[in-house]
C-alpha cells in the first residue's frame, strides 16, 4: 500500500519501506551471517546445516508473537470500553457526575486506544463519539442523558419551579433558594415540572413540611435532594408516588421522628441520607418498605433507642452509619437480619457494653468502627462470633481498664488471622490510675506480671510440698525397714538361746 502510494506520487519506495515488518530483518541477517561468515564452531555448523528449519521456526515464532500482541491489544481495549460503559451507567443511576478528573482521564485514554485500534467500524464510531462527549464535558450528566434517541434529561432545581406570589425571589449573592412552602400539586403539572424529570434538587431552601403526595406524578424521578432545609415533619406517604426513586437526601434538616408510613413507595431506593437531623428513636415500621436499600446514613442524630425490628426489613443493607448518636448498649437481635452488611459505623456514641452475640449474624462485615465510645473492657466472644473472611476493627478513644483479662482478649484476637485490630497501638489505658494515659502496646508485658508472680509462687509451694512429702515418705520407709530388721535379729537371737 505504501509503495503504491509513493509510485503514484512519482517517487520510488525507500529501502526502509521495502523491509519486511516485524523481526524478518533479524532472521534474514542471521541467514546472511551463516552463509557468509566462516565459523567452525559445533553450534554454528549445526545451525548452518539446519538453516531453513531455524529461519522458518523464527518466522513462525515472530508471527505468533505479533498475533498474540494483537489479540491482547484488542481484548484489553474492548474490556476497558465495556467497563467504562457499565461504570458510567452506574454513575448515571446513582446521580454521580461524569466530570471527575480520574474518570475523564480514563475515558480519554480509552478513546485514544479505540481510535488507533479501529475495531468497531461505524458502530464503534458512534460509541467513540459518545465517550468523547462525556470525556470533554465538565458536567454532562446535568445537561444531557446519553440514550439511543438522544432524549434530553429533565433536570430541575428549585430555581426552575414557579414560586408562589408571596415567596421571596432567589438571592444571587447568597445563592440560597427561598422556596418555603410549595403549593399542593405544584409537581403534578407538566408546566411546573415535566413528568419525565429524573433529577430534582430542592436543597438549601426553607421547606418545613412535606405533605402526603407532595411529588404528584413524578414517576420517573431517580434522585431527590432535600438537604439543608428546615424540614421538621414528613407525612406518611409523602414519597408514595416515587416508586423508581434510587437516592433520597434528607440530611441537615430538623426531623425528630419518622412515621410508620415514611418509606411507602420507596421500594427501589438504594441510598437514604438522614444524617445531621434530630432523630431520637428508630421506630419499628419506619423502614419496612426499604428492601432494596444498600446505604443508610443516620449519623449525627440523637438516637438513643432502636426499637425491635427497626432494622429488620433492611436485608440488603451494605452500609449502616450510626456515628455521633447517643446509643449506650448493643443488645442481641439488634442486627439479626443484616447478613449483607459490610460497614458498620458506631463511632462517637456512648456504648459501654455489648452482648456477646450481637455481631454474629453479620457474616459479610468487613469494617466495625467502635472508636470513641465508653468501652472499658471487651468480651472475647464479642468479636470471635463474627465469621467473616476479613474483619477490620477500630477501638481507639475508649476508656480501657487495662488488666490481664483485657490483655488475654487482645492476644487471642491478634492470633486470629481474619481479625485485624488496626489501631491497637493507639489504645490508651484509663484505669488503673498508675497506667492512665499509657498505650496498650507499652504496658502489654506488664499487665499479667502480678498474676505471673502469683502462679510462680503457687507452683514453687506445690513443688516444695511434694518434695517434702517424698522425703518424709522415704524417711518413714527407712525407719520401718530398720525396725523390722531389729525385730528379726532379736527373734533369731531368742531362738538360738532357746536351742
**Most confident among 41-50, 107-116, 159-168, 422-431 (mean pLDDT):** 422-431
- 345: β partners: 321, 369
Average pLDDT over residues 301-316: 93
In a domain, 436, yes or no: no
Cis check for the bond before 465: say yes or no (omega within 30 of 0): no
| Arithmetic mean of pLDDT, 338-346 | 96
Q: Using 50, 70 and 90 to split pLDDT, how confident is the model at 11? A: very low
Euclidean distance between CA atoms 296 and 319, whole angstroms:
6
Residue of 483 and 66 predicted with greater confidence = 66
Does residue 114 lie within any of the structural domains? yes
Q: Is residue 408 part of a domain?
A: no
Given a cut of 50, whether residue 206 has pLDDT beyond it is yes
pLDDT at 163 over 90: no
Backbone angles phi, psi at 405, to 5 degrees: -65, -45
Given a cut of 90, whether residue 192 has pLDDT beyond it is: no
Please report how many Cα atoms fall inside a 13 Å half-sphere around the Cα of residue 111, on the Cβ side: 18
In 3D space, the residue among 298, 262, 307, 266 whose CA is nearest the CA of residue 279 turns out to be 298
64 band by pLDDT with thresholds 50, 70 and 90 = confident
Residue 478 phi, psi dihedral angles, 5° rounding: -65, -45
Model pLDDT, residue 169: 31
Band of residue 285 on the pLDDT scale cut at 50, 70, 90: confident
pLDDT at 62 over 60: yes
pLDDT at 393 over 90: yes
Greater pLDDT, 473 or 172: 473
Decide if pLDDT at 334 tops 80. yes
Residue 69 lies in a domain: yes
**Cα dihedral across residues 411, 412, 418, 423: positive or negative:** negative
Long-range Cβ pairs for the range 350-354 (8 Å, 24+): 350/326, 350/374, 351/327, 351/375, 352/328, 352/376, 353/329, 354/329, 354/330, 354/378, 354/379, 354/382
What's the domain count of the chain?
A: 1
Residue 410 lies in a domain: no
Of residues 131, 151, 125, the one with CA closest to residue 89: 131
The answer, yes or no, to whether residue 470 has pLDDT greater than 90, is: no
- Give the 3-state DSSP-derived string for the chain, with helices as H, strands as E and coil as C: CHHHHHHHCCCCCCHHHHCCCCCHHHHHHHHHHHHHCCCCCHHHHHHHHCHHHHHHHHHHHHHHHHHHHHHHHHHHHHHHHHHHHHHHHHHHHCCCCCCCHHHHHHHHHHHHHHHHHCCCHHHHHHHHHHHHHHHHCCCHHHCCCCCCCCCCCEEEEHHHCCCCCCCCCCECCCCECCCCCCCCCCCCCCCCCCCCEEEEECCCCCCCEECCCCCCCCCCCCEEECCCCCCCEECCCCCCCCCCCCEEECCCCCCCCCCCCCCCCCCCCCEEECCCCCCCEECCCCCCCCCCCCEEECCCCCCCEECCCCCCCCCCCCEEECCCCCCCEECCCCCCCCCCCCEEECCCCCCCEECCCCCCCCCCCCEEECCCCCCCCCCHHHHHCCCCCCEEEECCCCCEECCHHHHHHHHHHHCCCCEEECCHHHCEEEECHHHCCCECCCCCCCCCHHHHHHHHHHHHHHHHHHHHHHHHHHHHHHHHHHHHHHHHHHHHHHHHHHC
* Residue at 86 is within a domain: yes
pTM: 0.60
Q: Does residue 280 sit within a domain?
A: no
Instruction: Identify the domain containing residue 135 by its residue range.
Output: 19-142
Residue 74: inside a domain: yes
Digit-coded pLDDT (tens) for 66-82:
788 778 877 777 777 78
Q: How many CB atoms lie within 10 A of CB 5?
A: 11
Residue of 34, 31, 12 lying closest to 23 (CA atoms): 31
Amino acid at each position: 500500500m505504501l509503495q503504491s502510494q509513493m509510485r503514484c506520487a512519482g517517487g520510488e519506495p525507500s529501502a526502509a519501506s521495502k523491509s519486511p515488518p516485524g523481526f524478518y530483518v533479524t532472521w534474514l541477517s542471521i541467514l546472511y551471517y551463516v552463509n557468509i561468515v566462516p565459523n567452525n564452531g559445533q553450534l554454528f555448523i549445526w545451525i548452518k546445516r539446519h538453516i531453513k528449519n531455524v529461519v522458518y521456526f523464527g518466522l513462525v515464532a515472530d508471527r505468533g508473537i505479533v498475533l498474540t500482541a494483537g489479540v491482547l491489544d484488542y481484548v484489553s481495549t474492548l474490556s476497558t470500553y465495556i467497563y467504562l460503559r457499565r461504570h458510567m451507567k452506574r454513575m448515571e443511576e446513582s446521580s454521580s457526575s461524569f466530570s471527575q478528573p480520574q474518570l475523564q482521564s480514563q475515558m480519554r485514554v480509552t478513546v485514544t486506544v479505540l481510535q488507533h485500534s479501529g475495531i468497531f467500524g461505524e458502530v464503534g464510531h458512534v460509541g467513540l463519539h459518545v465517550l468523547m462527549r462525556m470525556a470533554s464535558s465538565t458536567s454532562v450528566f446535568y445537561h444531557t442523558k446519553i440514550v439511543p434517541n438522544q432524549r434530553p434529561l429533565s433536570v430541575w432545581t428549585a430555581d426552575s419551579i414557579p414560586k408562589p406570589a408571596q415567596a421571596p425571589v432567589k438571592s444571587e449573592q447568597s445563592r440560597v433558594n427561598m422556596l418555603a412552602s410549595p403549593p399542593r400539586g405544584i409537581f403534578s403539572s407538566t408546566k411546573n415540572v415535566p413528568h419525565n424529570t429524573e433529577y430534582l434538587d430542592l436543597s438549601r431552601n426553607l421547606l418545613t413540611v412535606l405533605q402526603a403526595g407532595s411529588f404528584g406524578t413524578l414517576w420517573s424521578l431517580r434522585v431527590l435532594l432535600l438537604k439543608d432545609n428546615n424540614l421538621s415533619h414528613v407525612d406518611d406517604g409523602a414519597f408514595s408516588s416515587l416508586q423508581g426513586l434510587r437516592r433520597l437526601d434528607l440530611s441537615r434538616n430538623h426531623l425528630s421522628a419518622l412515621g410508620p408510613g415514611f418509606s411507602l413507595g420507596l421500594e427501589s431506593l438504594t441510598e437514604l441520607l438522614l444524617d445531621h437531623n434530630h432523630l431520637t428513636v428508630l421506630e419499628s415500621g419506619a423502614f419496612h418498605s426499604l428492601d432494596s436499600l444498600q446505604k443508610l446514613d443516620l449519623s449525627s442524630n440523637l438516637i438513643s433507642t432502636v426499637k425491635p425490628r427497626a432494622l429488620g426489613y433492611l436485608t440488603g443493607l451494605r452500609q449502616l452509619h450510626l456515628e455521633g448518636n447517643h446509643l449506650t448498649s448493643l443488645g442481641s437481635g439488634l442486627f439479626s437480619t443484616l447478613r449483607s452488611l459490610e460497614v458498620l459505623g458506631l463511632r462517637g456514641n456512648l456504648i459501654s457494653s455489648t452482648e456477646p452475640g450481637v455481631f454474629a449474624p453479620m457474616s459479610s462485615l468487613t469494617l466495625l468502627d467502635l472508636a470513641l465510645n465508653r468501652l472499658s473492657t471487651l468480651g472475647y466472644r464479642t468479636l470471635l462470633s463474627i465469621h467473616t473472611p476479613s474483619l477490620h476493627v477500630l477501638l481507639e478513644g475508649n476508656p480501657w481498664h487495662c488488666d490481664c483479662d483485657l490483655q488475654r482478649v487482645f492476644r487471642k484476637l491478634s492470633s486470629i488471622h481474619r481479625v485485624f485490630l488496626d489501631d491497637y497501638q493507639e489504645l490508651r489505658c484509663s484505669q488503673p490510675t498508675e497506667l492512665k494515659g499509657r498505650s496498650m502496646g507499652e504496658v502489654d508485658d506488664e499487665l499479667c506480671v502480678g498474676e505471673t508472680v502469683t502462679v510462680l509462687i503457687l507452683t514453687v509451694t506445690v513443688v516444695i510440698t511434694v518434695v517434702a512429702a517424698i522425703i518424709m515418705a522415704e524417711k518413714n520407709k527407712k525407719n520401718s525397714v530398720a525396725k523390722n530388721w531389729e525385730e528379726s535379729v532379736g527373734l533369731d537371737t531368742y531362738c538360738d538361746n532357746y536351742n
